[in-house]
Structure 1
Amino acid sequence: MSKNIGKKYMKGDESGAVAIYSGRASDFPMGSQLSQIQPLDAFVFAGPGSKPSANLTETLIPGRQPYQLSNSLREGGFCLSRCGVATWARDPGVFWEAPQTPGQPNQCPWPKICPHSIVNPGGTDSPPHLPPWGNSDFLINEVNTDTPGAAEDGEYIELWHPSGRRVSLQGIWILLFSAHNNRPYREISLSGHFTTSKGYFLLGSDRLVPAPSLRLPPNTIQNGPDAVALYRSPFGPPSAAQRGIPTKGLLDAVVYRQRGSDKEAQELSKALTPGQLPLLEDPEVLPGDEALSRCRGLYPYDLSAFSVAPPTPLRENSCPRPPPAPEHVIISEVASGHWTNHSQQRAFVELHGTPMTDLRGLVLTVFDQEYSGTVIALPLTGSTDHDGFYMVGNVTAADQIFLEGSTVPARGAVVLCYDLFSVCRAGTALTNSSLRDVLVFSENQQLLSSLSATRGSQVIPALGSVEDGPVSLSRCSCCEARSPASWISSSPTPRSTNVCPSSSFSSDIDLCLSPLPSDWQEKLGDCSGLIQGRRVAEVADYLEQKCHCGISALYLQGANFSCASGWLRVWGNMHALSDHQKALIIQTLHMNPSSAQGDVCSAPSTDRYTSKASALGLQIGLIVAVLLLLGLGAALFTYFYRRRRPLDYYTMELSEHAEGLSDL
């Protein structure tokens, strides 16, 4: 298998294209007609004097616009580089004029440009900070498999292209599967058809209003349990290229059922929508006819994106309003299998709230700093249990499980979001109302800035807090969401009370800390500001740099603080999780301080508290003591001097005369 790039040198006012195909050079002879095989990537450009043909544009870059060359590019050479923030192929909108950099990263302007604006099925413009779609190909937008009455002549399948424009359906197939034998009972080629100007394509029963572009005989679409699957297969029907349930070229799929038949479509679900239950077009939800409509997200084979809604063929979907946001639901505990190699380490996210709280409308998203995006986006279903817990992950009795191949990464973030699924999944520029709770365990500044409600702080797992066992991040301050100071590293406790610092393992501390220039003295001017602001997290971070055993602000709940001239004294009790952690803390408190850095983190001594104010007080005290000693010496000298030298007669007479006057 080889990849060839077709290239032609043209005048500056002409139009053309460059495409990359998978195949052999003999499959694309010079001068041949445009191949209907879908390319791996393509770039179509329009010169100032001409436009590329509609066939060229719709075949190579369906749903996109060609790159428009300007008049200034007619003379001399120029270079266009891929600079857009989008990761999908076949979109000239992500290219920009830039210097040539063969074999090196592109030199793109800053900020990076975004692709063309896109509209979604609801008809509103996609927010500029969000990826406009989950993938760049066709999606199943609405399915009506069971209409009222015996005729069943209103059934249909509606497709939609995320570009929201007229797009060719060349090489697109729809397969209708039966769960009774897990085979397609009908294969429909859509080659030769185009979407509407808004990106819709409708196929359905002959009497359907509005009229479908491709008409089906009545009762063609079965009631279920069955499936509708969408493929890109330019070389023929997908079933000819793969036995069983084909997955090669799969673009999207919907597995649906009737009441009591959820277990009959297991093979279809496993192949087409793994890890998800079939959808139920429940006839009791709405009066009259109803359909399964895409309402939450534009990602393929994601059944959580669909809702039962009134039929809206060739129109924007009429989606139900989301329920009110559940209150007082927070992230309680997070564990990753990457944090330790212990055999019992399992990845999970534990939520906690008021018992029996309905979680519909909340989306749990997990971000990985290594991939700069979401690895899990899971709309929550069901309710918290009688103790207020809700478990997601690869643990026993989880309420929801991670999709196959997904897990909590070593460094990333977990977000509890209330918004449109597409907004929550993108995870950028979330509002305060959308961002219900967040835990960032990453040093990645881009991730920290995108989840701005974390106030630029993060929590990093401290393996030293647990002795030879699995470790998790646990919330130990019950009620303040989005606060990094509420978290500590401890042993996992799924569906039970978190292990938190306790006075049962406390140790006495008495420290005098001389901060480094980069510490709180520089930020606040003096450690007195630290105490007044109760930013004990700064002190905890200082101690954790010494200990590496998981110390946080919650460990200092029994401690006292005082300040004088920049020196910070901490004394009282420091809590711990266990005897193991207590021993590490005591060992840290007795470490020899580094005189070169001015750190003081060991047993206190009186000279540590010496400062300018205390030195002045000592000088005054010494002067007073000297004066007192001099006065006492003078009095003693006078007393002994008089005893050795008795008074004469004249003095005695004066003294007696004075005593007589006194008696009068």
Structure 2
Amino acid sequence: MGAARLVGLTVLVCIWFHKVAAQNLIKNPRDQKTEHTLLINEINADSPGEDTSEFVELYHTSGRTAHLDGYYLVFYNGNGNQAYKVLNLQGKVTNSQGFFLIGSSSVNPAMVIPKNTIQNGPDAVALYYGKGNYKEGMSVTSDGLVDALVHKIKKTDRADTLVSILTPDRDAFLEDSTFRTLDESIERCRGANSQWIFQVAMPSPGKDNHCILTSQLNASTVLISEVHAVSSSEEFEYIELQGPHSTIVRDIVLVLIDGRTKDIYLTMDIYGKTSLDGLLLVGPAQSQTPVDLPFPQNTSSPVLRDGANAIALYRGNSSNFILGKALPVTGLVDAFVYTSNEGPDPELLETLTPGRPAYEKKWHQLGDVSMSQCNCCSVTRDSLSYVLSSPTPGKFNDCPSKRFSQTISFCLHVADCQEWLLKSEEILMTLVQALDRSCSCGISVAYFKDSKAVCQDLGLVFTTLLTARSEDQLSSLLLAFKTFLESPRVLSFDGRNITAETSCFKDINEPELPPEIPEGTQEPSTQVAKLLISEINPDNPGGREDTEYVELFYTGRTRFDLQGYWLVLYNGKNSLAYRVLDLSGHHTNELGYFLVGSSAVSPAPMIRLPSNTIQNGADAVALYYSNTTFYKVNMAVTAEGLVDAVVYTSRMSEKADQLIKVLVPGQSILYENDSHSTEDESLSRCNSLSAKLQSSFQVTVMTPLGENSCSNSSALLPSNSAILINELCLLNSTAPYCFIELKGKPGASLKGHSLVFFSEKEGKMYASIPLWGTFGVTGLFVFTPDRGPKHDEMKLTFKDISAASEGYSAIAVYTTNLIPGDMKATSENLVDALVYTCGPSTGGGHLDFLGPSYHVPCKDDRPVSLSRCSCCNGSAELQFAVSDPTPGLQNSCPQNSFAVDLNLCFLTPNCSMWTLNHKRMLKSMGKLLLNSLEENCSCGISESYLQASFQGWEIALFVVGSLLLALLLVGLAFYFIRRHPPNYTNIEMNDRREIAADF
């Protein structure tokens, strides 16, 4: 029974492999560096009463609409550690701000769950991604885990198993019901060290978390949070303080100071209790908005004066302060100095806010606005942390958010760049002041985050994150910044005038090579290093689609900062962006490569994408650079800020005319021909370093984060020094050539070579051109009658040369400039040659040794070309095909995707001749077929368009033989199984069955 066991083992192995193949191939997203992440942002598991306000809020860190396909939200019971609720998020999307809310109907969620669904704890909520079998009743698992929170409502509760599997580095979080007398939630925030933390807060379903860091608030009694100064006594003025929630405040004095005289003009003791949100409002006693503490009676209104003023908080009581006197130097807790028209006393500034300027409020330009603290709560005595915003008395301040943000950068042309690296804050302050004077938009330093400066090329590149309070405000500020730096602007730094402009790169916004016929150049040009799309793999074999990627390459071949660059993926059906990646904050590796791709790509991409993200085509990948333009999903295709682009398809029937028109005008779509290899392949940059040029790419094997495998491609040259004839265009048998196109390595010199023209008559030369100059960035060199190269030593111009009127002609490239007038065709010093004819002929005669000959239909006046379609393959018998002219572009060659099977039956009475020399007969029959087709259609068909497959009988014989061999092996196996002596116990147990089987 050994063979039977072997068969059984084989079946088990097949089943095991099938199951393994069906497993989720996506690694734990917590171990991946993704461009954006879906997170559990806020949970309210225990609301007062009947739990009618519970929710789980998810947030996509892109801050934009994101599809949630493949995600699962699982709720675990800490008693038994099993899932009690599983939500499949397939087909769901976040809102335009990146939020997705799941909860009771009272919180207006995107996905409603029954009240009292989320258990109070000790329990857990976990977010998964992948193809795992997530279902109710399953045991807790970390497979596919993206994010998790283990929570409880009692300090004594324990959930050791949930913690060890879901959050091994974080204990169960306590939702402290004593935090607020009303409801509270657990919110995710950035801690003091920029790490994610959870804390108890006021619920904010579907909105930004408040993220007032309680630990920092507890370190201070109260701080100045918001100042609303008014110009009329009829308006509501107030000062809002902030501290720990529901906390008694005492022994604090509010002091108002005249900024010009430094004299105190009002003092009042601060006492009372902060609100549930930690706020305490000070204002007029008689006002529509209730205040926690009124201004002193008999004070003039408005209390906050016009001009330069200061507000300070001191420890102590008001009896320690004397009106009209100077400030004490001790006991200061917080201070804020502001002005509406004139500067305050410098000594006052140095006392209250050392090293900081006064905050400038525009009274008349922005309407009713407050001065709001937006760096709560570790920053004190700093006017740079305030912004102008809408008044929010008794509520959290209306501050700029990173959810509405855009990275911007500009260049300062400085000679001593290293010295300026230490002046980032001074640079930002000067920029903001100049920008606000230009736009009058009320912008301040607090709108900018994460500033950094680096030395690069022509000066210092300053990069910062511009935040805003809304999408509209962000668009307005970006437009203001773009207008501000439309032309170089002089900024003043401590009396030194420094020029600022958008970029430190000379070529960053210069147009690349236009989509016209590229020409050779006389001298090699110095190529400025730039970032380009290097390789794209949008379509994987089968249905897995998990090795897709886009590779970028910095031609300087060194580590390169991607600040300001964007990668946008476009859908060819609607010409809208379906994926937008902000590359700011990333950089290439040390060799200049940067990889964006799926989880299964190896080496690992710097930015990971979910499987099946990059569409197969007809679509496009575009690389942009901009300090001001905001690229987003669903935007229409644009050329603004375009650096490079590739428009491609995996199906020739698919078109993307609008993408072509905008991104690569005048060019053809690239076809990722899957016949190039039985394995996966990609579109690789091989032919040039020119941006936005489709002919720079060709199909090769995959090489992520490595040199493109151009040596195996059909469009590379066999050696660095080779010059090949790539395309010959003819009008008719007597007219001049349309053009001749040569191909070589970009930048390679043509000097020392000659282009020679031969006729069939004795194989003699009738014209020659000495070559000079270099190949352009496309690797092509095009001769035309009107744009032929000019040279003093040139005896004959190109427009003087005509094709031979009859018989065969040839053009050849030789590695010599010494071409005698009576030269005959020879193989000495020959580099490449092309033999052709415009009429029927029996053979090339004296030109046969130059290579195979090609027939060109020259009867009509329309131009036709002989295009090289089998470059660099010396074994290819035919290397040219008749095609439409494509000067300076990728040759138009026959494609397998347009192939049609022609099944022909030859009525030959005697087939014995086929067995004698069937290859010669096949070639003869192929030529006969082509001649017949050409006589009827005059369509320029040649042998390159025909791939004979007359060996059907050989294939059939192989198949039949294989089947017979398989049947023989099966019969032998069955024979040995039946004749193998079974062991004794089997004979005893199975004798009746064996007898019946033998019978």
> Do the two structures share a fold, i.e. TM-score over 0.5?
no
Taking structure 1 as the reference length, the TM-score comes to 0.39
Answer 1 or 2: higher relative contact order, Cα 8 Å, separation at least 6: 1
Taking structure 2 as the reference length, the TM-score comes to 0.28
